[in-house]
Amino acid sequence: MGAHRHGPSSSASAPDPEADAARAALVREIAARGAFTDPAWRTAFADVPRHLFVPFFYVHGIRGYERLWGEDPDPERRSRWLRGVYADGALATRLQDGELVSSSSQPSLMALMLDALDVADGHTVLEIGTGPGYNAALLAHRLGGPAVTTVDLDPAITDAARGHLTAAGYHPAVVTGDGARGCPGRAPYDRIIATCTLPSVPRAWPEQCRPGARIVAPLATGLVALQVGATAHGPRAEGHFLHTPAYFVPLRGAYPAAGPLPHLGGLPRRVAGDDLFRFLLTLSAGALDPHEALSLWEREGRPERERYGVTVDRGRQWAWLDDPRGPYTWPLAAD
């Protein structure tokens, strides 16, 4: 795996010792979790200044959301902002009618996803869900700006991200559009990464991939990693979930939203709130009722996420436990 660096251009901001120290501490924390198997990603996280991409964010306060920002004249509040930016947590970056519509993901989760993407020098990447542009900057640092395309539905989000990326000295293609449709004008891609939760895999994504491509995306409170291959009937994508849980802002646009979880009344309290059981409920929604899901889950030894997978083939897609052709499969609603 290559480790070629594409650092920021000379337009990047001047050094900030306090921010630099906070960023170095965050990188050490992520590294301690084992998220950097490719050293190029550690270099990217060390070089890309997250604070340029999150000039403000929102936290829950006594009176609802409270805004913290980097230009606050109160030094204590500015310090809270900087600590939040370089904490290993997700940040709410845009609200609409009181609802969260965009965020900056937890850095250690971003590192895990980028590592799972398994990029190499020369690869082209499509990112779905631009957010503040930080993830696109990490990709551009690793692969170079021309190799990276990032798409978001909201022009206010893409406009802000362009400004952040320019300030940091990175220049990927930032496109305003429906991420469920990919970005055919810049296809084909070697890798696709999504930073928004999906109910299923949009058909356009495998179609815009080269054979051998990889897709990493949040689905059903998990992260699925799909390999794309060519068949006589078109692209086929298949792969397992990663071990880690993942919760993201839902994909917006014309793509159908995930349906609500079924009512959990009558289930034992010890399982109703279990993260792995709720993962199965979300993945099999519409195919299994909660009691059927519980029976399967306990019969199969309360399986971890990595025993599950997804297949996309011939206009159909389905989730499965252990074997895509085995007895435990559930259809996913295709677009």
DSSP 257: P
Question: By the 8 A CB rule, do 140 and 9 touch?
Answer: no
Residue 67: CB partners within 8 Å, gap ≥ 6? 56, 57, 58
Question: By the 8 A CB rule, do 17 and 68 touch?
Answer: no
Given 102, 103, 104, 200, which residue is catalytic?
102
Q: Which two tokens stand for residue 85?
A: 């930016």
Q: Which two tokens stand for residue 250?
A: 């839902």
DSSP 26: H
Torsion region of 144: left, alpha or beta (phi above 0 gives left; psi -120 to 50 gives alpha): left
HSE at residue 164, side-chain half, CA atoms within 13 A, is: 27
Q: Based on the number of CB atoms within 10 Å of its own CB, is 107 exposed (0-12), middle (13-18) or buried (19 or more)? A: buried
Residues linked to residue 272 through DSSP beta bridges, in sequence order: none
Task: State phi, psi for 116 to the nearest 5 degrees.
Answer: -65, -20
Q: Verify whether residue 105 is a known catalytic residue.
A: no
Give the whole-angstrom CA distance, residue 186 versus residue 18: 39
Our CA angle for 300, 241, 232, nearest 5°, is: 110
Q: Based on the number of CB atoms within 10 Å of its own CB, is 83 exposed (0-12), middle (13-18) or buried (19 or more)? A: exposed
Give the whole-angstrom CA distance, residue 241 versus residue 335: 21
Give the whole-angstrom CA distance, residue 152 versus residue 167: 19
Instruction: List residues with catalytic annotation.
Output: 102
